[in-house]
Amino acid sequence: MIPISLVVTLEIIKIFQSIFIVWDSEMFSTDDNAGCHVSSTTINEELGQVKYIFSDKTGTLTQNIMEFKALAIDGNMYGTIGDQLRRKASRIEQKLEIEYSFRSTKLDNLLRNEKSTEGEQTIITSKSGQTQIKLKGHRDKAIESIKLLSICHECMPEIVEVEGETLLFYQGPSPDESTLVDFAQKQGYEFCEVSEATCSVRYSEESGVTEKESEIISYSIHKRMEFSSDRKRMGIFFTDPFDGKYKIYIKGADSEIK
């Protein structure tokens, strides 16, 4: 039998251990301007048993950096895939004066031109035939694609302070996921809040979906289909507040999305 007082004492000790881990200067990353983040206090004592860490050289060679170079929608390429492009930096990196070189005047002009009729119309009809979604051209398809990147993911927004300025960045299950959400943010589709039943996106005037300087739109989420190695894709079933229709966005491997 273990006395209750001992259990309470151990929990308090673990909390203080976590504080010391966060304060540890040797675990501070100057590249990310962030220290260690303790998510759980249940395995503190197991850290002392770690003797070896095995890793392949992928992270050493690539530094786990994902570069967003180009976007292809309905046969149209926005951006270029040349080696001269660097990764599109997050807001934190911009604050630290790290430049990013992704540029697509073609995409910017397309999103801002509400009267654009370029491209063929695509009509998506429900199985019952009672509901239709009309994508009039390249602009509508680009907006739907970037909306997908902003809400169909497993990232979580985090707020950090950098040189006295509050910045939003994303933590995701993989660098790929965070990079796609970060790209959507740069285009004016800023994923800012999520709960079990809702997802909120802050749209700027550059996004092409609002005439206001900034507007937060909430989506009602009915079902999330998480990514798995068997399905190789994920999806989200929601109500689109722009037209009131039920939609499913799906994102995944090329071999599965046809």
230 is catalytic: no
- φ/ψ of 152, rounded to 5, equals -95, 85
The Cα 54–Cα 165 span in angstroms is 37
Residue 13 host element (H or E):
helix 4-23
| Cβ-contact 200, 217 below 8 angstroms | yes
Ramachandran quadrant class, 172 (left: phi over 0; alpha: psi -120 to 50; beta: rest): beta
Integer angstrom CA distances of residue 234 from 66, 72, 165, 183, 225: 20, 19, 34, 19, 5
Catalytic hit among 24, 31, 32, 56: 56
Name residue, tokens 């090329």: 254
Q: Which residues are catalytic?
A: 56
